[in-house]
Amino acid sequence: MSKNKFTYKKSGVDITTTNNLVKYISNLSNKTKILGSKVKSFKNIGGFGSLFDLSQYNIKNPVLVSSTDGVGTKLEIANEMKKYDTIGIDLVAMCVNDLIVQGAKPLFFLDYIAVGKVIPSKYKDILKGISKGCEIAKCYLAGGETAEMPGVYSKNGFDLAGFSVGVIDKKKIVSGEKIKNGDLIICIPSSGVHSNGFSLIRKILKDKKIKFNKKNKKIFESLLIPTKIYVKEISKLNEQSLINGACNITGGGLIENIPRVLPGNVTAKIDLSKIKVNKIFSWIKNNGVAEKEMLRTFNCGVGFVLFAKKNNFKKIINIFSGSFKPYVIGEIIKKSHSKIQFVGNVKF
């Protein structure tokens, strides 16, 4: 019997291919270097652990804030379209947008990519998106892990997970405790569906036999628009102490996310009729999803929420530009029967 009958490559795992991509990953990582990432004693990409020098930030009472997340079944939309260069932006966004809720500055990001088979062109596109996301978020792509797992994933199947760490001075943590009666509830628009609710969307696509083709191209393109990264703007707001609290609208929508940041003595009163709905949400609603289900599943056009004093509103608006200009959707009132109170209806 041949001594070479069994090899790792014959089992479906090609170490040589992934090793050859290390240089490519390293080049992307270098583009994202920030203060603290340039540790000369060790190379991060290709090493065992990534180093980050926090002392360079001169924060008196540093508190680390961490977040981990994935992209969910939005990956399957990318697979159907065979377009992978933006899904990495989603991955970074889903992590760093959670960090900034508490006022943290994102420092570094690591990814985990699990695939059935490493296809270099597809793999590079995914990494391009991750690198782009880190550049937008001004955080360092410190490293990651690629797992080639034939038998667990199909040849085209893959999954992404991300992990990010940020820092904030202990005295500057945005906990939501400062949110008070009379504060405005301010919406920062989303770029689209972001990365939540895609199992429901894919159920609609499957049951209604909607495939990616010329006729449905615009729908799929709208679904794949990457999650807006709010780091730049929210960081400026925190630097100027313009907000009393913040909330990232992810899975659970407005219904489940807003109560998470409110102190116990207030209620968020939201006028749903003021929400400026992205067209893609009207398409989802018109395909058989009730309004309450929309509100507890999708952001419906509200990507991020701020709580601020009324006299800070004009200053807040000036920090944003283009289609992401904030607008008021409600106010904080004294404690009512629940943490969140809706009036009006969303104009889908």
The ranges assigned to domains in the chain are 15-172, 184-343
CA dihedral 46, 47, 53, 54 (to 10 degrees): 90
Predicted confidence (pLDDT) per residue in 97-121, tens digit = 999 999 999 999 999 999 888 888 9
The rounded distance, in Å, linking the Cα atoms of 208 and 197 is 17
Query: What is the residue-averaged pLDDT of the chain?
Result: 91
Least confident of 131-135, 144-148, 295-299, 342-346: 144-148
How would residue 144 be classed by pLDDT, with cut points 50, 70 and 90? confident
pLDDT exceeds 70 at position 7: no
Fold of 184-343: Phosphoribosyl-aminoimidazole Synthetase; Chain A, domain 2 (3.90.650)
Q: Give the pLDDT confidence score for residue 12 in this predicted structure.
A: 66
Task: Return the number of other C-beta atoms located less than 10 Å from residue 235's C-beta.
Answer: 18
Task: Return the number of other C-beta atoms located less than 10 Å from residue 77's C-beta.
Answer: 22
From 3.40.50.11740, 3.30.1330.10, 3.40.50.880, 2.60.40.10, which CATH number describes the 15-172 domain? 3.30.1330.10
How would residue 271 be classed by pLDDT, with cut points 50, 70 and 90? very high
Q: Give the pLDDT confidence score for residue 1 in this predicted structure.
A: 47
Q: Give the pLDDT confidence score for residue 118 in this predicted structure.
A: 86
Q: Are 142 and 52 in contact (CB under 8 A)?
A: yes
* Length of the chain counted residue by residue: 348
pLDDT exceeds 80 at position 2: no
Q: Are 254 and 295 in contact (CB under 8 A)?
A: yes
85 vs 2: which has the higher pLDDT: 85
Q: Give the pLDDT confidence score for residue 48 in this predicted structure.
A: 74
43 vs 189: which has the higher pLDDT: 189
Structure-token match 């709208």, residue found: 222
Task: Return the number of other C-beta atoms located less than 10 Å from residue 173's C-beta.
Answer: 16
As beta bridge partners, residue 144 has: 111
- Can you list the positions of beta strands (E) in 19-172? 62-70, 105-115, 140-148, 158-169
The rounded distance, in Å, linking the Cα atoms of 231 and 210 is 35
Question: DSSP string spanning 163-231?
Answer: EEEEEEEGGG---STT--TT-EEEEEE-SSSTTS-HHHHHHHHHHTT--SSTTTHHHHHHHHPPPPP-H
Structure-token match 């990365």, residue found: 195
- Return the DSSP state at 312: G
pLDDT exceeds 80 at position 19: no
The rounded distance, in Å, linking the Cα atoms of 110 and 22 is 14
Predicted confidence (pLDDT) per residue in 29-71, tens digit = 888 988 888 766 566 666 677 888 888 888 999 999 999 999 9
Which amino acid belongs to residue 183?
D
Q: Give the pLDDT confidence score for residue 51 in this predicted structure.
A: 84
